[in-house]
């Protein structure tokens, strides 16, 4: 049997991230370019409903995929294109799903908010804020009960930490000492509300104190720092030392969803975060380390542009999801 093509097989795409820092840069660029393309396609009226993108938050997704295995389980949110791509779903499959095409990872029937692939451990992403956390706890309970060394990760936003399911999930994971990781992308806003207007703490990790749980806050723009933090949490979980709450301080460059122009942000805030762009920071680090040259970074950037052009054409050439397909997995009327 021939070896799977590393550039095309979702599991291989995932595994390459753990061993190769340059692939982490390539794949952060991939996420950024896919989401920029999704915005273009939305502006052309080709995306039904809405879509939530995560430009600026790419380091968290890539660090998560680099630190975990395809046999682990991840629950994430409607802002999940980056996590889905990082875990291994191919760009044409994410773009196709957002466009409602058959090439999409759910055959075009789930759309932007419901990406999934069981082969890489991504459960269908959740549109209900906080809903993924108790489900991840259930997956962690399954790993513990079956005495495997699997880890379950719940990825969610700062706003989700005000939801009951978040607190119930953390409490149970702590009481049962489960192999769970609660990974908060604190991007300072829940929809149109700055965190201070909705959330009693500035540092989400303080919430772990209530559950006597290990917790770490990390710079979400530094992929190496997030990777090291998640690796520590993974070690804790796999070795039976219990759950961890991680807070990655990050920022979404664009509005909550495509109808949101983000006019509520204070002047200069976006520019401050753009100056610490996770892709540019990591590219500069790889150049400083001698792992890449400036020209090498430009070559990778152009190559990713070309790949996403092809992926978008492939997705657009795929037929729409069909009504009979909607009933293919319905077991009872
Ligand atoms: C239970 C529930 N309440 C409200 C909403 C509407 N809603 C969608 S996203 C969102 C904000 C969530 O913010 P946060 O958890 O910080 O995640 P972010 O969107 O910033 O990634 C809200 C209130 C929802 N989808 N589910
Ligand atoms: Mg948020």
Question: How far apart are the CA of 35 and the centre of ligand 2, in A?
Answer: 17
Q: Is 53 helix (H, G, I), strand (E, B) or coil?
A: coil
Whether pLDDT at 236 is above 80: yes
Domain 10-319's class? alpha beta
**Residue 70, ligand 1, Cβ within 6 A:** no
Q: Note the pLDDT tens digit of each residue in 34-61.
A: 999 999 999 999 999 999 999 999 999 9
Q: Note the pLDDT tens digit of each residue in 146-176.
A: 999 999 999 999 999 999 999 999 999 999 9
Question: How far apart are the CA of 129 and the centre of ligand 1, in A?
Answer: 5
Q: What is the pLDDT of residue 245?
A: 99
Nearest-angstrom CA–CA distance, 8 and 21: 18
Ligand 1 pocket test target in 186, 187, 190, 193 with most atoms within 8 Å of CB: 190
Ligand 1 pocket test target in 49, 134, 159, 199 with most atoms within 8 Å of CB: 159
Q: What is the pLDDT of residue 232?
A: 98
Interacting residues of 139 by C-beta distance below 8 A, sequence separation 6+: 73, 75, 123, 150, 152
Whether pLDDT at 2 is above 50: no
Question: How far apart are the CA of 165 and the centre of ligand 1, in A?
Answer: 13
Nearest to 126 by CA among 180, 189, 52, 193: 52
Q: What is the pLDDT of residue 169?
A: 98
Q: Is 190 helix (H, G, I), strand (E, B) or coil?
A: strand
In the predicted model, what is the mean pLDDT of residues 252-274? Answer: 97
Whether pLDDT at 291 is above 70: yes
Q: What is the pLDDT of residue 329?
A: 81
CA 113 to chain centre: 12
pTM: 0.97
Q: Note the pLDDT tens digit of each residue in 71-81.
A: 999 999 999 99
Whether pLDDT at 3 is above 80: no
CA quadruple 119, 122, 125, 131: dihedral sign: positive
User: Residue 82 is encoded by which pair of tokens?
Assistant: 């980056």
Nearest-angstrom CA–CA distance, 6 and 90: 11
| Residue whose CA lies nearest to ligand 1 atom number 2 | 129
């Amino acid at each position: 049997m021939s070896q799977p093509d590393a550039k095309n097989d979702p599991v291989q795409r995932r595994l390459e991230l753990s061993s190769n820092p340059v692939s982490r840069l390539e794949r952060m660029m991939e996420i950024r370019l896919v989401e920029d393309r999704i915005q273009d396609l939305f502006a052309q009226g080709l995306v039904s409903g809405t879509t939530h993108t995560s430009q600026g938050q790419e380091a968290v997704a890539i660090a998560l995929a680099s630190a975990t295995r395809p046999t682990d389980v991840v629950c994430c949110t409607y802002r999940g294109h980056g996590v889905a791509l990082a875990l291994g779903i191919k760009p044409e499959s994410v773009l196709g799903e957002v466009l409602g095409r058959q090439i999409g990872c759910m055959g075009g029937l789930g759309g932007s908010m419901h990406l999934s692939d069981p082969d890489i451990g991504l459960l269908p992403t959740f549109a209900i804020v906080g809903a993924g956390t108790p489900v991840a706890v259930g997956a962690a309970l399954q790993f513990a009960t079956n005495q495997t060394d699997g880890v379950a990760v719940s990825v969610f936003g700062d706003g989700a930490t005000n939801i009951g399911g978040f607190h119930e999930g953390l409490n149970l994971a702590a009481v049962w000492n489960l192999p769970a990781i609660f990974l908060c992308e604190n991007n300072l806003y829940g929809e149109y509300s700055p965190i201070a207007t909705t959330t009693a703490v500035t540092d989400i990790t303080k919430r772990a104190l209530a559950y006597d749980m290990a917790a770490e806050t990390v710079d979400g723009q530094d992929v190496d720092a997030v990777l090291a933090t998640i690796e520590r949490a993974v070690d804790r979980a796999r070795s039976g030392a219990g759950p961890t709450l991680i807070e990655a301080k990050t920022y979404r460059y664009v509005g909550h969803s495509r109808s949101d122009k983000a006019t509520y942000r204070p002047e200069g805030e976006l520019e401050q975060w753009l100056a610490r762009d996770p892709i540019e920071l990591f590219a500069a680090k790889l150049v400083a380390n001698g792992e890449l040259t400036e020209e090498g970074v430009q070559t990778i950037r152009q190559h990713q542009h070309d790949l996403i052009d092809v992926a978008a054409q492939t997705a657009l050439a795929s037929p729409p999801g069909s009504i009979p397909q909607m009933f293919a997995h319905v077991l009872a009327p």
